[in-house]
Structure 1
Amino acid sequence: MPTCTPTPHHHHHHKQPPMVAHESVETPSQKPVVGGIGLGSTVKIDFCSSCSYRGNAVTMKKMLEMQFPGIDVVLANYPPSLPKRVVAKLVPVFQIGVMGIVLGGEQIFPILGLMTPPPWYYSLRANKFGTIASTWLLGNALQSFLQSSGAFEVYCNDELIFSKLREGRFPGEIELKDLVGRRLANSGISDMSS
């Protein structure tokens, strides 16, 4: 009797998988339709990496990849303008220069042809620690400002669809999904408009 009982149960389990197979057949039939939305399209998000915008960029990337399967979302740094980058490179030189003058001015000024250091040197030297600390902190703050672009620019198939520099704000997730959806619908890559 114990050997006969497991056989019917075992037999009933074989009848359920065909129903599960029918359910899973529906999912692949929906997937190609959804997968076609983003296929062959690229969204590029250029963001200010020194502004800590990477988290926002990664969140938007994941959302777009879920909404538009097959879409290629590329994240890249948006650098500041060339003049800002050049000045940012000069800030550490200035910082080291000030520190060098404060610590070794008596030896530096004669080399530069000044036998008597200028009056401002004595003011800086009177408060060595304050001068060096201020130069360091202000220099680092200035360098941070100069290295940031404040950008969060979104391109869909090389067309700018959102600019934080122009709008002065980040795009909302729903807003960005709609912008990308409209761009894909208008580009003819997708027949669906969501």
Structure 2
Amino acid sequence: MKCRIIVADDHPLFREAMVRTVQRVLPGACVEEAGRLDEVIALAVVGDVPDTLILDLRFPGLADIASLAQLRRQWQRTTLIIVSMVDDPVIIEQVMATGVDGFIGKSLGADEIGAAILAIRQGDVLVRYLPSGLLPSLDAEQGVEQLTQRQQEVLQLIAQGKTNKEIAKELDISPFTVRIHVSSLLKALNVSSRTAAAVKYTGS
């Protein structure tokens, strides 16, 4: 069965860019577009069940975050990916709690968005975005001392070899929030892995 993907966004330019990104990373996919929720539903009831729905968080017809949980129940076999400019970790955690498969920030580059889509479709529960309004921007020369207090706490536990689940329990926060902090501190330290971040921490 041919892979069927719906890209749902009311901004034509972003929707077209997302369609091109999907077609590039999944060249065999059948990619369809929608600008309103009723269009999504009309597409979904015709033919095969959509393999993936890429949905803007602030989408015409989507009343609130709770509506995502209803979509999740309706389309249990569909990979549900939310895209948004939102960079508030509390809102993102609420979105992920509805049972969607991933959250991708619109501020990411096309290659990063493409890679995130592939990872989510392969089963990763992924949160990936640029927290522009959340954390201080650090250049490559700045170090651990420039991180926020919470980031430093997460980094210390990473250096101790703890998993995200263990860090969440230690700090009494959700695993999704831990994942957001880990992603942010990796970007802040200009490193690509937890191991490299731990090295910077132990060398600070």
TM-score, with structure 2 as normaliser: 0.27
Larger radius of gyration: 1
Which structure would you say has the larger RCO, counting Cα contacts within 8 Å and 6 or more residues apart?
A: 1
TM-score, with structure 1 as normaliser: 0.28
